[in-house]
Structure 1
Amino acid sequence: MREIVLDTETTGLSVRDGHRIIEIGCVELIDRRFTGRVFHEYINPKRDIEATAFLVHGISNEFLKNRPQFQHIVNKLLDFVQDSSLIMHNANFDVSFLNNELSLCGKRPIDRNKIVDTLTIARRRYPGSKVSLDALCRRMNINLSSREKHGALIDAKLLASVYAQMVSNIQSSILFSNEKRESIDLKSVYKKRSFQPTELEVSEHFKALEYIKKER
C-alpha cells in the first residue's frame, strides 16, 4: 500500500486573503514504511510573506524570489503523488491551499476520499490532550532536534513517524479485540494461584455468595 505524507508552508493563514503555498514536502510510505523517496520544492508565491508566518517557518521573500512558481512544479508534484492516499495533519488547512493552487493551474482538486487527517486520529486517540505535531512527537519519543522552525519536508518526515505509530497501535488494538476467545491461551497470560486461601477468606467468600442470593 502506497501513501504520501504531505505538508506545506504558506505566506499566511487564509486562502481567502490571497495567501499562497511557498513550500511543499512529501514523503513516500509503502506499507507504512519510509522508502527514502521524497518530493520537496520551494515556490515563489509572487506576493509578500506575512511577518507572523515568517516567524513560524523562517522563509523570506528574498529566499524565494528565484524559485519556480507553482504552475512550474505542479506536474512533478502530481506525478509523485499519483493516486495514493494523502496523509496530512490538520488536512483542511493544507487542502484548501493545494486546491486553490491546483485551480489556478486548471487542475482537478484533490479527492477528499483519499485524505487521512492525523489530527482527527489524534483527537480521538488522545482526547483532552495536546495534539499538535510537536506534542505528538514528544508523546512518542520522536526526536525533534532537526526542527528549529516549521519546514514542509522536515514536518512531513516527523508526521510519517507519528502516523506509523498511531496506526500501528490502533491496528494492534483492533486485532486483539477481534481474536476469538478460544484461540487465546489463558495459561500463557495468567499465572496459576501459588497459594491457598485462608479459612477467613473462604468464610467471607461464602458469606458474600449468600448475600447475593438474598438480594436477587
Structure 2
Amino acid sequence: MTRGVLFDTETTGLNPLNGDRVIEVAALELINDLPTGKHFHALIDPQRDVPPDASRVHGFTNSDLIGKPLFADVAAQLAAFLADSRLIAHNAAFDFAFLDMEFARAGLPVLARDRMIDSLALAKTRFPGMPNSLDALCRRFSIDLSARTTHNALLDCKLLAEVYVELTGGRQRGLSLAAHDARGPVTVYLHTGPRTPHPIMPAQAELTAHAAFLARIKDPVWLLP
C-alpha cells in the first residue's frame, strides 16, 4: 500500500520571498494513487492584506480571513497529515516554495524535494505542446468544472484528484459519498489494492467454439499463402 498526499494552496500573491503568504491549504490522502476521502483543510489569516488581483483569482478577501487561525496554529497538524508521504501538486514548485516558507516561519522542517510529484510535469509529458492547466485537463478528461468559478484549494484538490487518476491509469473506480464539510462532499474511490493487469483467459469450451466458428469462414485471409 502506497500513501500519497495531493495538496494545493491559495496565497496573497506569487512570490513568498516578497512577503506573500498562504491563505488556504487543502490536502487529500491517496492510497495507491486513489483518494480515500481523508482530507485536511484550513483557511489562514496571512497577517497582511490580500491584494485585489489575488482576490479576483481565489475569491477570498481580508474580511474572509480575519479571525482565522495563523499558519503556525495549523502547521503541526498539516505536517502530521503530510507525514512522510509522496506529495502531489499541480505546478508543485509553487506550492512547495510557499509551504517551505510557512513551515520555516513556524520552526518546522521544509519539505524534501524528493517527495515532490508535479502533475503539471506529468501532463506535459503526456500532452506535449497542449494546454495543461487544471481547467484544460478537466475539459480534456470530461471532468465537471461547473463549481469552479474561482480558484479554491479544496475544490482544486478534488478536481486534481480526478485528473491525477486519469494521468496515472484511468477511472476504474466505484463512487460513494464521504462526510460533508462546509464546501461539499469529498469523492471516495473504492479500491482493493494496486492497479494490476488482469488478463482474460478463455475457457476450453470457448476456445473450441471459436475454432469452430473460424472453420466456417471461406478462404480466411490469415491462411492465404
Task: Please state which band the TM-score falls in when normalised by the shorter chain.
Answer: 0.7 to 0.9
Q: After superposition, what is the alpha-carbon deviation per residue over 1:59-117, rounded to whole angstroms, capped at 9, x for unaligned?
A: 01011010000000001101111111111000111011000001111111101101100
CA distance in 1: counterparts of 2:94 and 2:10, whole angstroms: 10
Q: TM-score, normalised by structure 1?
A: 0.78
CA distance in 2: counterparts of 1:147 and 1:95, whole angstroms: 23
Instruction: Tell me which residue corresponds to 2:44.
Output: 43
Instruction: Tell me which residue corresponds to 2:95.
Output: 94
Q: After superposition, what is the alpha-carbon deviation per residue over 1:112-163, rounded to whole angstroms, capped at 9, x for unaligned?
A: 1011000101011101100000000000011112211110010011111111
| Stretches of structure 2 lacking an aligned partner (at least 5 in a row) | 171-195, 200-209
Q: After superposition, what is the alpha-carbon deviation per residue over 1:16-74, rounded to whole angstroms, capped at 9, x for unaligned?
A: 21000000011111112221111000000000111111000010101101000000000
Instruction: Tell me which residue corresponds to 2:144.
Output: 143
Instruction: Tell me which residue corresponds to 1:152.
Output: 153
CA distance in 1: counterparts of 2:6 and 2:145, whole angstroms: 17
SS in 1 for 2:107: coil
The residue type equivalent to 2:59 in the other structure is G
Structure with the greater alpha carbon radius of gyration: 1
CA distance in 2: counterparts of 1:88 and 1:195, whole angstroms: 57
Instruction: Tell me which residue corresponds to 2:22.
Output: 21
Instruction: Tell me which residue corresponds to 1:52.
Output: 53
Q: TM-score, normalised by structure 2?
A: 0.75
Aligned pairs (5 A) from 1:105-116: 105-116=106-117
SS in 2 for 1:141: coil
Aligned pairs (5 A) from 1:48-197: 48-168=49-169
Of Structure 1 and Structure 2, which has the larger fraction of its residues in strand?
Answer: 2
1:4 Cα deviation after fit: 0.6
The residue type equivalent to 1:95 in the other structure is F
User: Which range is displaced more, 25-34 or 107-116?
Assistant: 25-34
Q: After superposition, what is the alpha-carbon deviation per residue over 1:177-197, rounded to whole angstroms, capped at 9, x for unaligned?
A: xx9xxxxxxxx9xxx8x6769
Aligned pair count? 183
The residue type equivalent to 1:25 in the other structure is A
User: Which range is displaced more, 40-49 or 139-148?
Assistant: 139-148
CA distance in 2: counterparts of 1:161 and 1:112, whole angstroms: 24
The residue type equivalent to 1:24 in the other structure is V
SS in 1 for 2:169: helix
Percentage identity across paired residues of the two chains: 42
The residue type equivalent to 1:79 in the other structure is A
The residue type equivalent to 1:37 in the other structure is K
What is the root-mean-square deviation of aligned Cα atoms in Å? Answer: 2.3
SS in 2 for 1:34: strand
CA distance in 2: counterparts of 1:61 and 1:113, whole angstroms: 35
